Structure 1
Amino acid sequence: MALTDLQIQDLQAVIKSWNSYTIGAKDSVGNQEYEIVNTQDGTTEAIAVAPVVDGTTDYSQTAIVVAGTQPGFTESTKNAIEARSGMTPQVDDISDFYDSTAAKLEKDHGGGTISNMSGFSQSGPAVAKVAAEHQVPKITNFMDWAASSALYSKANPKGITAEEKAWLDQHATIYMDSTRDVTYLDGKNHGDIPYGKKYIVEGTGDPISDHDTAFPRIKGNGLDIDWYVKHGQFASGMTKEQVIKVARKKAKEAAKNWDIKDPSTWFNSTDYRLYLLRYVMTYGDFAVEPTKAELLTSYKKTVKDLRSQLKTATGSKRISLREELLRAVAEKARLQAELKVQEIKDEIAQAKEALQADITATRQAMYQIAEELTDSEVAELLSPYTMENLWDSQAEAQNLAEADAYQNRMMAFADKLEAAADNLIATDQEGAALFSTNKK
C-alpha cells in the first residue's frame, strides 16, 4: 500500500511547519494522523512521515515529502538557477535524506518501507531521480522545474537515466498547470516534463497561485474531474462529453463578457468547437467513457472511503463529508437501478431472441421432413409454432413495468438524498452565519 496523491498534497502543505518537530512527534492533516520519522530544515526542506492507523504507526507506508525552492534563500535560489542547465545540486541532499530515513526505519523501528516520495518545483526532478534509483513504488510531484534539463547526458552525469525514466513512466504522477507560469522559464522546453504520467489543470496565468502544490484539485489518486466540469475549467482525463460541456460554458462566457474596451476579451472564442481543439492540444486525448459497471464499482469504493473518514471527522469537515456521502450514495442508487433494469431487459431480449431462433429452426426442419405433405398442410401443422402463441407478451409487459417502477423508486430515493445533501449545506451555512452574527 501507499499514501494517495491527495494525502501527499496535504503533506506538502505542512512541510515547513512539521520539519521543526522532534522525531516521533505526531500530528494530523487531512483527517490522517502521522508520525514524524525524519526531518531536514536547511537549503532542502523535507519530512519523512508514516501514517498512524488505528493507533499504530504503519512504517510500511513511510513517505518522503520535499519542499520546492525557498524564495529569498540564496543557496536554494542558486540551485534553481543551476538546474536550468542540469540536475539540481539538491539531488545530493535528497539522496542523503533518503538514506538517513531508511537507516532510521531499520534502527528505530526494525524496518519499514519508503512507499511514497514527493517533490515540488526544483525538488521535483531530484526526487524523481532518487525515487527511481531506489524503485519507490509511488512518486507524486508538482510542477517539476527544469525537468527536461534533468535527463542524463555526458554533461549531466547525475541526471535521470533511461532506465530510471522507464521506472518513472510507470510509477510517477506529475501535476502541472496548463499555462506553466513559472516552469515556462526553466531554461529548456518551456516547462515540459519528459517522464511520468502528467495531470494538467487549467492555469490562470498567475505564477503565485498556479505554481503551488495546492493548486490542482485532487481526489484520491487523480484529479477531481467533477469539480473541474462544475467550475467550467479544463483538466486532463475528461471524456469528450465533459469537454464539450466545459467548452460550451466557455463559449457562453466569452459571448457574455466580450467588451471592446477590454483587450483580454477580444480573442475569446464564442464557438465551442475551437475549445475542443485547444483541449486536445494542451491536455491530451479525451478519456474513454467508463462503463456504468465501472462507475458503480468506483462509487462503492467512494462510499466505503467516506464512511471510514466520517469515523474521525469533526466540525465542518464532518458536514462536508456527510454531504459528499449522501451524493455518492445517490449516484450509487441511480447506477444500481439502471444496471438492474438493463439486466432484466437484456435477459428478456435474449430469451425472446432464443425462442424466435427455436421457432425458425423448427419450421425449417418440418418443411424438410414433410415431403409427402402439401405446403398448406405443413403450414397448418406449424401454425401453433409462432411468437404470438409461444411468447407470453403479458408477462413480458408486467416484468418490464415492474422493472421501470423499481427504477423510478430508486431515482426518487436518490433525489431525496440529493435534497438532503442540499439541506445539509444550507443548514451549515445558516449556522455559520448565526455564529458570525453572535460573535459581533
Structure 2
Amino acid sequence: MALTHQDIQALQNVTKDLCSDETVLKGDNIPVETLNSNGKVVESNEYEVIDKINGTTQAIAVAPVVDGKTDYSQTAIVVAGTQPGFTESTKNAIEARDGMTPQVDDISDFYDSTAAKLEKEHGGGTISNMSGFSQSGPAVAKVAAEHQVPKITNFMDWAASSALYSKTNPKGITAEEKAWLDLHATIYMDSTRDVTYLDGKNHGDIPYGKKYIVEGTGDPISDHDTAFPRIKGNGLDIDWYVKHGQFASGMTKEQVIKVARKKAKEAAKNWDIKDPSTWFNSTDYRFYLLRYVMTYGDFAVGPSQTELLSSYKKTVKELRSQLKTATGSKRISLREELLRAVAEKARLQAELKVQEIKDEIAQAKEALQADIRATRQAMYQIAEELTDSEVAELLSPYTMENLWDSQAEAQNLAEADAYQNRMMAFADKLDAAADNLIATDQEGAALFSTNNK
C-alpha cells in the first residue's frame, strides 16, 4: 500500500493526540480515518505503531497494515508542529526565525531510533515517507534529505528560508539537500500565510520542494492547520476548489476563469455603499486572473477531454465496485461521489460527441469547397476555346450555395446543441441529487444527535 498525501494528512491530523495518548503503545494497531474534501470518511486504514515520542518534539512512526499484515516498506514518520502555550517548543519556534529549529536533533534521533527498530524487531523495512508541520517542517525536510527519504509531505513550514545552511547556521539545509527536496518534497501552504508570515524576514517563503498553495481565509486558527488543504490522492482536490469558487495551485486557465467569474459575481452581489470593506472589491473577472498568476503561479496544462472521460469512466467503475460492500456513512459518501462522477462523465461525453459532429460537418464542408475550387481551376485550364463568360456559365452550378445543403447543416448543428443541452441538464440533476444526499445525511445525523441528548 503506497501511502498518498491524503493518507499522510490523515496521520498528521491525529499525531498530537496519538503522541499524548499514553494508551497508544508501540506495536499497537490503530485505525486512522481518511476523509474526502467534504469531510466524509473515505476509508479507515490500519497502522502499526513502530515508535513514538511525546516531549518537546511529538512524533510517531507507523506502517500500514494491509490484509492483516504490516507493510514495513511503507513506514512513515510524522512530526507534529509547535506545542501551544509558553513551552520549550514555542521557544524553539522563536529561535527558528534565525536558523534551524533546535528540534532537528530530536527528529534526527527519532529517525535513527525508528530505523534501528525496523532492523532489529522486524527484520528490516524502509522509511518511505516523512512529514512535518509548521516548526517541524524544515527539520523534517533536513533529516529526510540527509537520508534521501523518497517522499516528504509537509504543511505550512515555519521559518523555511531561515533553515537554509549558512556559516551561522551550520545545521541548516545544504545545497545538495535542497536539490533532493526540490525533487521529492511537497509542501501545502495557505495563500495568506496567516501564521508563517511572521516567521522572519522572508514572510513565509519556502525555498525548497514543490509548493501547493490554497486560498486562505485570513483566519490563522483555521488556515494554519494540517486539515486546511483539501487533498485528493497526491495533490489538491481541484474540483472541490472550483466548485466552491476558491483558487488553488494547479488550475487550468479555464478553471481559473470559472472561479474568477464567481468571485466577480460575488463582489457585485455583496457591494454595499454602507460597508467600506466592499468598495474596492473588483467586479471584473480579469482582475482575479492577474491575482491568481501572482499568487499561485502559471496555469496548469490540463488533460485532454478524451483523457478526462477515460478517467471518469474508470472512477465510475471503481465507485460502483466499492458500493457493493459499503455501509452507513461511507455508502452515502460513495453514492455522492458516484453521482458527481456520472454527471461529469455525461457532460464530457456530450461535449466530445457534439464536437465530433461539428468537426465532421466542418471537414465535409471544407472538402466540398476544395473540390469546387479544383473543378473551377481545371475547367478554366481545358476550356481554351471558350470565352470567360461561357466558362463562367458552365461553372455556375458548381457553387457552395447549390451543392451544400445549408438547411440540413443548420438542423444537424441545432440537434447536436439540443442533445448537449439535454445532457447538461441531466448532469445538473445528478449534482442536485448529490447535494440532496448530503443534506439528508446531515439532517439525519442532527436528528440522531438530538434524539440521543
Alignment TM-score, normalising by the size of structure 1: 0.80
Q: Deviations over 1:305-343 (max 9, x none)?
A: 645665665422331231122012101111111112201
Shifted more, 169-178 versus 46-55: the winner is 46-55
Superposition deviation, residue 213 in structure 1 = 0.7
Shift of 1:65: 1.6
Q: Which moved more, 1:368-377 or 1:25-34?
A: 25-34
Aligned equivalents of 1:410, 1:131: Cα separation in 2? 49
Deviation, 1:117, is: 1.8
Compute the displacement of 1:141 (Å): 0.7
Specify whether residues 408 and 23 from structure 1 end up closer, same or farther in structure 2 by C-alpha distance, changes over 3 A only.
closer
| Equivalence for 1:367 | 380
Whether contact under 8 Å (1:143, 1:175) holds in the other structure is: yes
- Cα distance in structure 2, aligned partners of 1:306 and 1:224: 17
Q: What is the aligned length?
A: 438
Partner SS state of residue 169, structure 1: helix
Helix, strand or coil for the counterpart of 2:203? Answer: helix
Q: Secondary structure at the match of 2:282?
A: coil
Q: 1:399-410 counterparts in 2 under 5 A?
A: 400=413, 403-404=416-417, 406-410=419-423
Aligned residue number for residue 16 of structure 2:
none
Deviates more, 1:144-153 or 1:84-93: 84-93
- Closer, same or farther in 2 for the Cα pair 1:201/1:16, shift >3 Å? farther
- The structure-2 alpha-carbon separation of the partners of 1:72 and 1:232, relative to structure 1 and needing over 3 Å to count, comes to same
Structure 1 residues 110, 397: closer, same or farther in 2, change over 3 A?
farther
CA spacing shift, 1:387–1:251, aligned 2, 3 Å: closer
Which deviations, in whole Å up to 9, do the C-alpha atoms of 1:410-431 show, x marking residues without a partner? Answer: 3344244234323323432443
- Residues 203 and 63 from structure 1, CA distance in 2 versus in 1: closer, same or farther, beyond 3 angstroms? same
Deviations 1:191-213 (CA, angstroms, capped at 9, x unpaired): 21111222223334433322211
Segments of structure 1 that go 5 or more residues without pairing to the other structure are none
- Give the 3 Å change call, closer, same or farther, for CA 95–320 of structure 1 in structure 2: same
Q: Relative to 1, partners in 2 of residues 1:367 and 1:26: Cα closer, same or farther, differing over 3 Å?
A: closer
How far is 1:288 from its partner? 5.1
The whole-number CA distance in structure 1 between the counterparts of 2:210 and 2:380 is: 64
How big is the shift at 1:296? 3.1
Counterpart in the other structure of 2:37: 25
Q: 83-92 vs 250-259, which deviates more?
A: 250-259
Label 1:313 to 1:147 Cα distance change in 2 as closer, same or farther (>3 A): farther
In 1, distance between residues paired with 2:232 and 2:258? 21
Are the aligned partners of 1:44 and 1:90 in contact in 2 as well (CA < 8 Å)? yes
Aligned match for 2:132, one of 104, 115, 119: 119
1:199/1:236 contact within 8 Å kept: yes
Cα deviations by residue, 1:341-372 (Å, 9 ceiling, x for unpaired): 20122122113212321332233133223434
Alpha-carbon shift at residue 119 of structure 1 (Å): 0.7
Instruction: Report deviation, 1:23.
Output: 24
Q: Is the 8 A contact 1:40 1:46 kept in 2?
A: yes
Asked if 1 retains the 8 angstrom alpha-carbon contact of 2:26 and 2:50, the reply is no
Contact (CA 8 Å) 1:15, 1:65: kept in 2 or not? no
Give the share of equivalent positions with the same residue, in percent.
91
Q: 373-382 vs 89-98, which deviates more?
A: 373-382
Q: Quick check: 1:7 aligned with 2:7? A: yes
**Kept after mapping to 2: 8 A contact 1:23/1:36:** no
Consecutive unaligned residues in structure 2, runs of 5 or more: 13-22
Q: Tell me how far apart the structure 1 counterparts of residues 191 and 38 of structure 2 sit (CA, whole Å).
A: 36
1:131 aligns with 2:140: no
Kindly provide the CA deviation profile for residues 15-44 of structure 1, in whole angstroms up to 9, marking residues without a partner as x: 99989xx99999998433333344333333
Please report how far the alpha carbon of residue 157 of structure 1 lies from its aligned counterpart in structure 2 after TM superposition: 2.4
Deviation at 1:121, TM superposition (A): 0.9
Within 2, Cα distance between the matches of 1:367 and 1:416?
A: 59
1:422 aligns to 2:435 (yes or no):
yes
- Tell me the distance in 2 between the aligned counterparts of 1:79 and 1:253: 43
Q: CA deviation at 1:156?
A: 2.0
Determine the structure 2 residue equivalent to 1:76: 89
TM-superposed CA distance for 1:2, in Å, is 3.9
For residues 26 and 63 of structure 1, do their structure 2 counterparts lie closer, same or farther at Cα, with a shift above 3 Å needed?
Answer: farther
Deviation at 1:252, TM superposition (A): 6.5
Q: 1:125 to 1:390 in 2, by over 3 A?
A: same
Contact 2:37–2:230 at 8 Å: present in 1 too?
no
Alpha carbons of structure 1 residues 45 and 311: separation in structure 2 relative to 1, 3 Å: farther
Greater Cα shift, 269-278 or 52-61: 269-278
More deviation, 282-291/35-44: 282-291
Structure 1 Cα separation of the partners of residues 37 and 241 of structure 2: 37
Please list the CA deviations of residues 159-207 of structure 1 after superposition, one character each: whole Å capped at 9, or x if unmatched.
2122222222233221122332322222331221111222223334433
Equivalent of 2:343 in 312, 330, 340 = 330
Instruction: Give the whole-Å Cα distance in 2 for the aligned partners of 1:240 and 1:262.
Output: 32
- Report the CA distance shift for 1:421/1:132 in structure 2 as closer, same or farther (over 3 A): same
Closer, same or farther in 2 for the Cα pair 1:63/1:230, shift >3 Å?
A: same
Do the aligned partners of 1:15 and 1:67 also contact (CA within 8 Å) in 2?
A: no
Query: How far apart, in 1, do the equivalents of 2:35 and 2:370 lie?
Result: 74
What CA distance in whole angstroms lies between the structure 2 residues aligned with 1:25 and 1:355? 52
**Which range moves more in the overlay, 26-35 or 177-186?**
26-35
Following superposition, the deviation at residue 404 of structure 1 comes to: 4.4
Contact between 1:18 and 1:47, CA under 8 Å: does it hold in 2?
A: no
